[in-house]
Amino acid sequence: MGTTSQDLIALVRSMISVEAASGWARLRRTPSTYTWRCLDHLISLSPSHQDALCAAFADRAPVLLGLEPPPAKWQDPALVKFYEEVLQVPSDHVSSRLMRGMAAAKRVDGPNGLFSDLPETFMEKADSIHPTKASQIRKEVKAQFKADFGASAENMGAGNWLYRGTFSDRQFSVLIDYGGMGDQLRYWVQMSDSQTGIQTRTLCYEALLGVGLGRWDFVTADTLPNDISLLSEFIQELVTLPKRTASLGSA
């Protein structure tokens, strides 16, 4: 018996359940203000509402993993509403670059400036940020991916780098864009598996679980090693999906 859409949905539901059972602890470590906003809003809802949304997140798995083509209108209205609310609900989460810029503007503009009402706690957090450059992030990624995946790195231009590696006997690629104006990196895992039918070009762990887009905007010099180690963890989770799915299909 081959892999079915229900196999993929069941697998992703189990992944979401594991993350939720920990209080979303690992995803909370993701240096992405959008992921933080998604999680903040999700856990603010009733348990039954959270369960319904998590089920809807998982139901997208066959499309996100390439087993089914996206229908003309495949987004659940409940998910559309959820993501709209994520962006509309007031949040204290802003990117590290923006936070430092706002703090600097307050000091320059004084009491009549746009950011004059920023609290001292905000200023202290901004001052505690040790920024990191794209070149430093690339260096950390190259070393981590070489150690974990034996990956090669190819400069594709315009801030995009392609990493080709192997994990759990599977070849795959990761495209990372370091050139975003607001994001420090954006990543997409690319792989193809003939046995299960899984094919991905723009897959990231947070998107598969419904709480992010793989857009990281709070990487600092202090957190950089742990952040890239987490990125490697996410990639390992994705690259082993075909093997885990195949075991479900053959059960």
- Residue at 74: amino acid letter: W
What average pLDDT does the structure give for the chain? 92
Provide the token pair at 227: 């952040």
Closest to 119 in 3D by CA, of 86, 92, 98: 92
pLDDT value at 237 more than 70:
yes
User: Domain ranges in the chain?
Assistant: 5-249
Please compute the mean of the pLDDT values over residues 4-21 and round it to a whole number: 96
Alpha-carbon distances, residue 63 vs 5, 207, 208 (angstroms): 9, 12, 10
Residue whose C-alpha is closest to residue 184's, from 232, 150, 218, 224: 218
Contact 231, 223 (CB under 8 A): no
- Alpha-helix runs per DSSP H in the chain: 5-21, 25-28, 33-44, 47-59, 61-64, 77-88, 96-109, 120-128, 134-149, 205-208, 224-239, 241-249
Nearest to 159 by CA among 143, 183, 140, 189: 183
- List, for residues 82-123, the tens digit of each pLDDT value: 999 999 988 888 888 887 888 888 788 888 787 888 888 888
Structure confidence by residue, pLDDT tens digits, 152-196: 999 999 999 999 999 999 999 999 999 877 899 999 999 999 999
Amino acid identity, position 102: M
Residue in the block written with tokens 């090693």: 225
- pLDDT above 90 as % of the chain: 73
CB 148 within 8 A of CB 167: yes
Q: Which pTM does this prediction carry?
A: 0.93
Question: Reduced to 3 states, what is the DSSP secondary structure of residue 189?
Answer: strand
- Go through the chain and tell me how many residues it has: 251
Tally Cβ neighbours within 10 Å of residue 92. 13
State the average pLDDT over residues 219-243: 97
Question: What Å distances lie between residue 16 and 21, 89, 90, 157, 228, CA to CA?
Answer: 8, 23, 25, 35, 21
H helices within 110-223, ranges in order?
A: 120-128, 134-149, 205-208
Secondary element (H or E) of residue 156: strand 152-157
